[in-house]
A and B are shown apart, each in its own frame.
Chain A
Amino acid sequence: MKDNLMAFGESAARDLGAPCCCGPASEGDDREMPGYSVCRFVDSFMETPEGAVPVVKTRLERVDHLGTLAARCNVGRSDYRVAPGLYAVGEPTETAPVLVTANYKMSFDAVRRTLSGMNAWLLVVDTKGINVWCAAGKGSFSAEGVAAMVTKTGLTQVVSHRKLILPQLCANGVTAREVKKRCGFRAEFGPLRASDLPGFIQSGLNADAGMRRITFTLKERLELMPVEVSLTGRHLLWLVPALFLLSGVGPGFFSFSQAVLKGVAAWSALFTGILAGAVITPALLPWLPGRAFAVKGALAGLLCGLPFGLFYWNEVGMGSLFALICWLTAVSSYLAMNFTGATPYTSPTGVEHEMKRAIPAQAVAVIVGLIIWLAAPFTG
């Protein structure tokens, strides 16, 4: 009986194909359970010997894209997960391949969108909402976790074969033979990128060399940029008032007008340094000379320091300008060095090697800059 206003509102809205007053129209079908809501990426449910398994959509919708965008911009990025467990793509039978992935929503989305038109099982392992590569590196994507999910989902009842396809990039955390030992499923490493999964499956589970090699293209680097900028921005925020105060120090103890003049110059130096280290360096990575990121970053800093210097040529004194360029180069170099964590080719031994040399150099640049900056008002 839909005799109350609320139910009428809902059914009327559904008839019109428009959301009712209080948000999107509920689907209101028999999948509803008190206290649960169906995820947007679930298309339907299919019956298996282990109960109902959600069938996922292979097309990303606006909410998925918005979520990806937000995560890329570092909004709610550390809590962007899907529930671990078994999912279906298409109409998989008991012989369909089982693909394993992390429960980071972006990893999950990357896999399901690439499988459009295919039939497969998707075993989502609990990696604490972290992507495949980082989870494996940190130990939350492990043979133990994979085997635990196989057991929990009752996979042996759902498929007749005993084979799992793991993403290649989890191999630094998952020991394949350990998976077999724990749950009886043979673990094979599939391609490195989700987008190569269809090719891999169609060729009878064979990956060619290209599918096994990591890349770090301009597009991949640019996608990382917003996170870099927002993270570094947060870390360097305290510099904004600090630079303003430092800029006011002069013969009359503190001059507000001088603080405004020089403070703004110092802020734009900081901004230029961030631009050089977190935007220019990642973008121009292969073309900047040097192997060490700190060197690449310092060069990018100097490169950006050139127009900066020309712009402020007559604005602040020569000494102050020199100090600003010292600072922005140090900032750029430091941020570039931090970009090592986002790249897929830097060895920890190499990073430590470069840090032990670069951090003292960056510190010297900052201190020299600071001395000149503070001395400038006194020397005229």
Chain B
Amino acid sequence: MKDLRYIDNMATLKLHTDLCVGCGLCTTVCPHGVFSLEGPKARIDDLNGCMECGACARNCPVAAISVNPGVGCAAYIISGWIKGKDKASCGGGCC
């Protein structure tokens, strides 16, 4: 999104270009247009646009993408601090 940008230099997203087979699935699933295909390989175009949803890493057939996936939700993170990461919930807030 051009008009709404979140804090820069946060995303844990990494692309291991050597592994990439250029299938283009990451460019399909990413809701923020973070990737593009450049010749036979994918490329990260907009690292700061990444919201760490994990869709790309989950669907990459050769595990060329790594990201620490999660939900960017304060209520969820607070409940994770209190109850531990596995039991976290948004308390009906966002989801």
Chains A and B come from one and the same complex: yes
A residues apposed to B, CB below 8 Å: 74, 77-78, 130-131, 133-134, 137-138, 168-169, 171-177, 189, 192, 207, 209, 212-216, 227, 231, 285-286, 291-293, 337-338, 340-355
Query: Which chain B residues lie closer than 8 Å to A347 at the CB level?
Result: 6-7, 10-11, 50-52, 72
Q: Scan residues 40-79 of chain B and give those whose CB is less than 8 A from a CB of chain A.
A: 49-56, 58-59, 61, 68-78
Are B11 and A349 neighbours in the complex by a CB distance under 8 Å? yes
Known contacts A176-B25, A349-B10; is-contact A286 B3 (Cβ 8 Å) = yes
- In the complex, chain A residues whose CB is within 8 Å of the CB of B5: 291, 345
Complex contact A346–B54 (CB within 8 A): no
Chain B residues with Cβ below 8 Å from A337 are 74
Identify 5 residue pairs between A and B in the complex whose beta-carbon atoms are under 8 Å apart, listed by A's number.
A133-B95, A173-B58, A231-B91, A346-B73, A350-B7
Interface size class of B (residues with CB under 8 A): 35 or more
B95–A134 touching, CB < 8 Å: yes
Given contacts A172-B58, A213-B32, contact A349 B12 (CB under 8 A): yes
A354 touches B7 (CB 8 A): yes
| Bound complex: CA A337 to CA B73 (Å) | 8
Minimum CB–CB distance from A28 to chain B (whole Å) comes to 39
- Given the contacts A134-B95, A175-B59, A292-B7, A351 and B72 also touching, CB distance less than 8 Å: yes
Q: Which 8 A-B pairs have the closest CB atoms?
A: A341-B73, A134-B95, A341-B94, A346-B72, A348-B70, A171-B55, A171-B29, A350-B10
State whether B90 touches A172 (Cβ < 8 A). no
Task: Point out the residues of chain B lying under 8 angstroms from A285, CB to CB.
Answer: 4
Choose from A174, A286, A344, A353 the contact partner of B10 (Cβ within 8 Å): A353
Q: Does B22 contact A (CB under 8 A)?
A: no
Question: Interface of B with A (CB < 8 Å)?
Answer: 1, 3-8, 10-12, 25, 28-33, 49-56, 58-59, 61, 68-78, 90-95
Chain B residue contacts of A216, Cβ below 8 A:
1, 4
* Residues of chain B with a CB closer than 8 A to A293's CB: 74
B56 to chain A, nearest CB (A): 8
Given the contacts A342-B93, A346-B6, A168 and B72 also touching, CB distance less than 8 Å: no
Assess whether B71 is in contact with A213, with CB atoms less than 8 Å apart. Answer: no
A291 contacts B74, CB within 8 Å?
no
- Specify which chain A residues have a CB less than 8 angstroms from the CB of B92 in the assembled complex: 74, 77-78, 231
The chain A residue sitting closest to B68, CB to CB, is A349
A214-B49 Cα distance, complex, nearest whole Å = 11
Q: A207 to B5, alpha carbons, bound, how many Å? A: 24
Q: How far is the CA of A292 from the CA of B72 in the complex (A)?
A: 12
Cα(A70)–Cα(B51), bound, Å: 30
Complex contact A168–B31 (CB within 8 A): yes
B20 → A minimal CB distance (Å): 16
A133 to B51, CA, bound (A): 13
Query: Of B32, B59, B74, which is within 8 A of A340 by CB?
Result: B74
B1 pairs with A340, CB closer than 8 A = no
